[in-house]
Structure 1
Amino acid sequence: MAGKVRNLLNRDGRYFARLVIPKELRPFMNGKTELRTPLGPDYREALKKLPGAVALLQHEISLGERRAAEAGAREVTMGRYPLAPDQIALRNYQSRLAFDEELRNTDPRYARLGLIDDLLVAKLRDGMAGRLSDSELAEVVGGRIERFRRLGNTTAEIGSEEWRTLARAMCISEYEALSRVAERDEGDFTGKPSHPLIAEAQPVADELPPVPLKVLLNDYIKSRVAIGKGRGADKRWQPVLLDLIDFVGHQDARRLTKQDILDWRDARLKTHSASTVSKVHLASLRTVLKWAVENDRLPINVAEKVRQEAPKKQLEREQGFTDSEALAILRASRSYLPAVPDNPANREAPQTTAAKQWAPILCAFTGARIAEITQLRKQDFRKEGDTHVMRITPAAGTVKAGGYRDVPLHPQLIDLGFVKFVEAAADGPLFYPQKKGKDALTAAQTIAGRVSKWLQTLEVIPEGVSPNHGWRHRFKTVGREQGISDRTLDAIQGHASKTAGDNYGDVTIKAKKAAIDRLPRYKLDHKK
């Protein structure tokens, strides 16, 4: 029996995100005992929405915690709500003026006194200028700093540079607040802070709702899928973001800092290659945060300038298969027959067998990506005149370049019986079993992985060459040897145009067929 999903509530067929409010916080949250957010009637959709909804509810509870801390009713972990010195100074300034307003409303004697301690003002000026020692600063503003320490806004230790910076900022804050008090004693309530530290301080962003990283990733992927791109990115990128969340201890993108990303990068370098950290970890995070900024979900991309140099890969051989290597792979593939196990339940699916027999040679004669081959369906093949044509289309799973492309079949494929294989196949995918609700892209990638793993067990794949991508390099090499233009080869393989001029005119099926027919046949009927 499946376990109960934490924080998910089902009431009469509708789902809610639910958090219980701790008893000691309820007086600071309008007496509520719990918080709920509706997620709709669909279970799968509710599960997708749950992390973001819980993050918003946790934010409400954290604000309740802070209200309780400000009222002295709850202890707060030091540094839980870190603020910059100017933000603390601004809060102190606002707190001082709010208290002044309260006293003027409740006790007329306060306004009549109109006393400003000139000695205190002088000390504040000295503190602003940096002329006071640590002990003198502590005497003047130490109590105010301690208040914000108890609220979890700072962990600065007295005597440190960080503490002195904050103390000087508090001197500025106190001095500006006293200036407003003096103005109010004269009936002038229009005064504004003049010191740039207070005047230009940005309001604290923690009153804004959190922006969960998981939600950002999901929304980014949806935006890409909507234009025919990004399929499968969630499975590649989600582990990266989960790792970052685990590292920083929260998933609020609004709270991320550049230093967080730098520390995370350095930690990952201890367990991953510089290339992986650069091209996977940092690249995926930068992309998601950039999208969030462009769509007004975040004000800045804190990962924008975080980079990691990676050593250039040193090639020790060509990236594509040589003639002898290609022959060894294709002969193994074309002669493949599955083992017959004692237990019928362990028999290999006929579609998997077909993939091992046909996928390598299809890659050899089309230069296609392996998953573009294993996702092929019966309806992706047709005949135009005397030409048999294969269509590689995102409708079958995915195409990296985004659009479909038509590729004529090489005569050797027809002679080997591939067209007859397609005609005899059932409707639907050729190389994986069709199951209701099963994602085509995932199924195609699974089969592609099985073909790769099988070839590696035969020890026919040379070191330094990708079992599947090696065909794309070889296709380009052989095509150039036959005098085929790069533009025609790019059109067959689905590579992007290199220049704006390449986008003018079409590479027709006739031109592609003429090119593919020039590719030499493989001698599969005998061994060297």
Structure 2
Amino acid sequence: MSKLPDYLTKHPKSGIWYARRRVPRDVAGVIGRDEFSKSLETRDERLARKKVRAVLVGWDREIEEARRKPDLSTADVETLARYYYHQQEQADLAERDKRPLAAQKDAWMEEAVGRLAVRPRQSGANVDPSKALDLMLDEISNLDLSNMAQDHRRIRLSELRAHLARREYALIAHEAEHLIESQSLPITRYNPLNPDEVSEEFIKLCDRLMRAEIELLERQNERDQGDFGGGPRDPMLRKGNTKLDLTSFSDIIDEQEKRSRRGLGRTKSESTFRKYRTITKEFVEWRKNPRAATVTKEEVERWRDELIDNDFATKTVRDKVSCIKSVLNWGQSQSSEKLFPAGVPLDGFELPELEERDSAERTYTVAQAERVLIAARAQEASYKRWVPWMLAYSGARVREILQLTKEDFFQIGQDWFYHIRHGGDRTTKTKTSRTVPVHPALVDEGLINFVDSRPGVRYSPTRVWTVTSATG
């Protein structure tokens, strides 16, 4: 057989063949690891050589996609740039609506000139120059200065273009810092590891904000000429979120738990929410980012593959990935589909198939069931005596049987029933109550006689089962 390729290795203990490959440095940060690794699930070298080809093709595709897709921080700052552009655009349109009409401007100008001429005469010949200046500024502030603003915008537009071309961001740094502060963004101007160096995130934010302001000034100049139909030419501003969503997995689960308590949607137990918190915490620690809006399909695929490679059971992998998908769907619903404008990234996500097992492998045989029930007859504790028999003849769950009180049993004609309730301190998996008939075999066994012998207070019911004896 030919020389073993570098990407094929054999586990020294199990003998299982693995595919391994270094992740190129330029995409390691996006992919989230330095090395690919995948079990080929065989000890046969020939079969391993065949199976590894498909694995390598998949890795090549992942590397190509990582090089094509912008990193998350870029997507975030472009969202901020769109937010900045739309906020400033709305402010500009609102300011134009408040401008005076042409006839009003002329009348105001004449009145202002008249007031400036009269006030010095009224105050006497000796007028304090500083007071005269204040009077003049008061009048100017009441005038429409839109023409002066037009000149200012033309100058600023020219300067911004020149600065953007040479990557000089002093003209926009103040707006970037204000945006960071007002939005409580996790961005710092200077590199925490090197205070003399501007951080990459801040540079990127300034760059995108400068592009956004250039577009804004172009739209304002067009409106100054009566053209209100223009739109941004920069692809970054044409579509996408206009608000950076910092919602975390924990935020989504907390909100869903509140809705569940209010009876909105399908209710879930506290234990279910605890499980979801545990799984999402694992995922957050793996991806090193708590934000839900930044999750991608490729990222979850990598996590799924790592779980499989680390020999997690198929059902465990399905449960973990399904949990992430459920939480993202909750977040999408809670945000009125604004969390993922293009749709939840895990729609149609492929999960590992569960191996179908014969139910006979997981259930009691008749002989085993007989041994359990016969042994129960000799038990002293009442719950050990009767709960196995009720489980065998009802299909109810252990917790549901243990919650029964004497008042839950009732008779209609010759038949006996018991009520499995939900509410208060009593719960069922389906969150609903139901009535179950008492099987004739249980009547013959003496269950009803036992229940009748139990103490019961109508307004303060007690559990049927105790840990004392089968008869008391």
Query: Residue 323 of structure 1 aligns to which amino acid in structure 2?
Result: V
Larger deviation, residues 210-219 vs 88-97: 88-97
1:334 aligns with 2:377: yes
What's the counterpart of residue 324 of structure 1? Answer: 367
- 1:392 positional shift: 3.2
Counterpart mapping for 1:377-392 below 5 A? 377-392=405-420
TM-score, structure 2 as length reference: 0.50
Query: Residue 365 of structure 2 aligns to which amino acid in structure 1?
Result: T
What's the counterpart of residue 81 of structure 2? Answer: 88
Match of 1:416 among 445, 448, 454: 445
Match of 1:179 among 218, 221, 225: 218
- 1:109 positional shift: 6.2
Relative distance call for 1:319 and 1:410 in structure 2 (3 A) is farther
Asked if 1 retains the 8 angstrom alpha-carbon contact of 2:307 and 2:317, the reply is yes
List per-residue Cα deviations over 1:57-85 (Å, max 9, x = no partner). xxxxxxxxxxxxxxxxxxxxxx9998242
Quick one: distance in 1 between partners of 2:414 and 2:144?
A: 94
Quick one: distance in 2 between partners of 1:121 and 1:209?
A: 36
Quick one: distance in 2 between partners of 1:414 and 1:242?
A: 45
List per-residue Cα deviations over 1:184-218 (Å, max 9, x = no partner). 6x565846533254254542155999992343232
Relative distance call for 1:375 and 1:137 in structure 2 (3 A) is farther
List per-residue Cα deviations over 1:352-411 (Å, max 9, x = no partner). x21111111111122222222222221222223332333334355326383413313223
Runs of 4+ in structure 1 deviating by more than 6 angstroms, as ranges, are 79-82, 96-99, 103-110, 117-124, 153-158, 161-168, 207-211, 266-269
Asked if 2 retains the 8 angstrom alpha-carbon contact of 1:278 and 1:310, the reply is yes
TM-score, structure 1 as length reference: 0.46
- 1:324 positional shift: 1.7
Counterpart mapping for 1:242-261 below 5 A? 243-244=279-280, 248=284, 256-259=293-296
Quick one: distance in 1 between partners of 2:437 and 2:463?
A: 17
Asked if 2 retains the 8 angstrom alpha-carbon contact of 1:390 and 1:406, the reply is yes
Relative distance call for 1:272 and 1:111 in structure 2 (3 A) is same
What's the counterpart of residue 36 of structure 1? Answer: none
Q: How many residue pairs are counted as aligned between the two chains?
A: 320
Which has more radius of gyration? 2
List per-residue Cα deviations over 1:400-432 (Å, max 9, x = no partner). 383413313223x22332111100112234455
What's the counterpart of residue 237 of structure 1? Answer: 273
Asked if 2 retains the 8 angstrom alpha-carbon contact of 1:116 and 1:178, the reply is no
Quick one: distance in 2 between partners of 1:242 and 1:81?
A: 29
Q: Give the secondary structure class of the aligned counterpart of 1:212.
A: helix
Counterpart mapping for 1:93-492 below 5 A? 111-112=150-151, 115-116=154-155, 137-139=165-167, 144=172, 148=176, 151=180, 172-183=211-222, 186=224, 188=226, 190=228, 192-195=230-233, 197-205=236-244, 212-224=251-263, 230=267, 233-241=269-277, 243-244=279-280, 248=284, 256-259=293-296, 262=300, 273-279=313-319, 281-287=320-326, 290-291=329-330, 293-294=332-333, 299-300=338-339, 302=344, 304-305=346-347, 307=349, 309-313=351-355, 315=357, 317-337=360-380, 353-394=381-422, 397-398=427-428, 400=430, 402-411=432-441, 413-427=442-456, 428-431=461-464
- 1:322 positional shift: 0.8
List per-residue Cα deviations over 1:70-105 (Å, max 9, x = no partner). xxxxxxxxx999824253255268569979x9x998
Query: Residue 276 of structure 1 aligns to which amino acid in structure 2?
Result: T
Superposed CA RMSD in Å reads 5.4
Query: Residue 394 of structure 2 aligns to which amino acid in structure 1?
Result: T
Asked if 1 retains the 8 angstrom alpha-carbon contact of 2:79 and 2:243, the reply is no
Asked if 2 retains the 8 angstrom alpha-carbon contact of 1:293 and 1:300, the reply is yes
List per-residue Cα deviations over 1:438-458 (Å, max 9, x = no partner). xxxxxxxxx9xxxxxxxxxxx
Quick one: distance in 1 between partners of 2:262 and 2:153?
A: 61
- 1:154 positional shift: 6.7
Asked if 2 retains the 8 angstrom alpha-carbon contact of 1:90 and 1:173, the reply is no
Asked if 2 retains the 8 angstrom alpha-carbon contact of 1:387 and 1:408, the reply is yes
Asked if 2 retains the 8 angstrom alpha-carbon contact of 1:333 and 1:360, the reply is yes
Q: Give the secondary structure class of the aligned counterpart of 1:388.
A: strand
Q: Give the secondary structure class of the aligned counterpart of 1:83.
A: helix
Asked if 2 retains the 8 angstrom alpha-carbon contact of 1:380 and 1:392, the reply is yes
List per-residue Cα deviations over 1:309-342 (Å, max 9, x = no partner). 23423537533211221122222222123xxxxx
Asked if 2 retains the 8 angstrom alpha-carbon contact of 1:393 and 1:399, the reply is no
Asked if 1 retains the 8 angstrom alpha-carbon contact of 2:421 and 2:433, the reply is yes
Q: Give the secondary structure class of the aligned counterpart of 1:394.
A: coil
Asked if 2 retains the 8 angstrom alpha-carbon contact of 1:382 and 1:390, the reply is yes
Q: Give the secondary structure class of the aligned counterpart of 2:256.
A: helix
Asked if 2 retains the 8 angstrom alpha-carbon contact of 1:330 and 1:361, the reply is yes
Relative distance call for 1:90 and 1:267 in structure 2 (3 A) is same
Quick one: distance in 2 between partners of 1:121 and 1:143?
A: 7
Query: Residue 415 of structure 2 aligns to which amino acid in structure 1?
Result: T
Quick one: distance in 2 between partners of 1:291 and 1:114?
A: 45
Asked if 2 retains the 8 angstrom alpha-carbon contact of 1:93 and 1:173, the reply is no
Query: Identity, % of aligned pairs?
Result: 18
Q: Give the secondary structure class of the aligned counterpart of 1:139.
A: coil
Query: Residue 180 of structure 1 aligns to which amino acid in structure 2?
Result: R
Relative distance call for 1:170 and 1:199 in structure 2 (3 A) is same
Query: Residue 440 of structure 2 aligns to which amino acid in structure 1?
Result: H
List per-residue Cα deviations over 1:213-243 (Å, max 9, x = no partner). 343232232245x79x746x22122242255
